[in-house]
Amino acid sequence: MAAATTTPNVLLVMEEERRADVYPAHVLEDIGRMARWHAPALTRDGLLRDPGVLEEVHVLLTGWGAPVLDAALLSRAPRLNAVMVAAGSVRHLTRPEFWARGIPIVSAAAANAVPVAEFSLAQILLGLKQVHRLAREVTVSRRFPHDPRVSGGYGSRVGLLGLGEIGRLVARHLQPLGVEVLACDPVIDPAAAGELGVRLAGLDELFASCDVVSVHAPLLPETEGLVGERLVALLPEGATLINTARGAVLNEPEVIGVLRDRPDLTAVLDVTWPEPPAPDSPLFTLPNVLLTPHLAGAMGRERARLGELVRDELGRLVRGEPLRHAVVPARASTRA
């Protein structure tokens, strides 16, 4: 890792719309006490108009609307020794020439995982209580069913498709709730899954035996369209499918077909492909689909967690301590 400068020059480059949420005043003040603001905050377009501002920058701070770390940018930033991204994936920002420079890059994925896991947990618990299905039935029948068939939480089975940052956090949230947690993830060690109280299972068992399946897989060539007709049709009666990962992990036309045939199922989709869906998409009209506008991730005041993570990492860099959230190059392409 490149050596830190005692008082580094820092520059913030990101979109204006969410800047104040991600880097609120208290975070900017804290950063100003440990580093030197080299110039006022810029947008990506502003940086393109004035690339020379990078020449004396040691640490680039960014978030949504980050500049691409390509050869052109790096040629303008000879003193750059760290990039800190107050957002999740850095896959779309980094180019081979960036990794070749050996510059550490921090991701705030761990901070963004917190609200996604909380949202997922809420929807899992609602799914176990059959809230969405029963609400539909009550609205149509205008009466309350007697002793409705509800699996409830205790002793039920929840499936997690993916045990990355978010999936692991969801598993930890579920640990004290008395549910059995299954997960399908080809790269996690069974012992590590066991520490989370999770039993690894194949895709078929996950979908065929779980009352709720929550999708947390990254979008990779091997996961694109992974969840389609065959798997969704395996879901038990009254099951709930939740997707807070990437819309394209689901084969939406196939999933829509099953949902049409299985009104007992519920799909909670916080992400779609495309996003938003086309105006004539059946996702808007199917009664057993709950669409939310990609709000599981950090929203409003929750976004300050991302800037605070970056601030804390900058402090470690200044003090010469190891970074806790630096992205390992080999793993960058597999993060959502």
Q: 256, 286 in Cβ contact below 8 A? A: yes
Residue 1 has a pLDDT of 44
Q: What is the pLDDT of residues 219-247, one digit of tens each?
A: 999 999 999 999 999 999 999 999 999 99
Annotated active-site residue 246? The verdict is yes
User: How many angstroms separate the CA atoms of 31 and 128, rounded?
Assistant: 44
> Could you report the per-residue pLDDT of 146-195, keeping only the tens digit for each?
888 888 889 999 999 999 999 999 999 999 999 999 999 999 999 999 99
* 309 close to 110: Cβ distance less than 8 angstroms: yes
The pair phi, psi for residue 136, each rounded to 5°, is -60, -45
> Nearest 5°: CA angle at 12, between 9 and 17?
165
143: number of Cβ within 10 Å: 8
CA distance 321 to 314: 10
**Segments in the chain forming alpha helices (H):** 19-22, 25-34, 44-49, 71-75, 96-101, 109-128, 131-141, 165-174, 190-195, 203-209, 229-233, 252-261, 304-319, 329-332
Domains of the chain (ranges; CATH) run 9-107+300-332 (3.40.50.720), 113-291 (3.40.50.720)
Give the alpha-carbon dihedral of 256, 134, 203, 329, to 10 degrees: 80
44 in catalytic set: no
Structural contact between residues 257 and 235, judged by C-beta atoms closer than 8 angstroms = no
The answer to whether the Cα torsion of 110, 111, 112, 117 is positive or negative is positive
- pLDDT higher for 335 or 121? 121
**Helices marked H in 16-88:** 19-22, 25-34, 44-49, 71-75
Query: From the candidates 132, 168, 216, 246, which is the catalytic residue?
Result: 246
What is the predicted pLDDT for the residue at 150? Answer: 86
Please compute the mean of the pLDDT values over residues 9-37 and round it to a whole number: 97
Catalytic member of 79, 294, 316, 335: 294
Per-residue pLDDT tens over the stretch 265-281: 999 999 999 999 999 99
pTM reported for the whole predicted model: 0.91
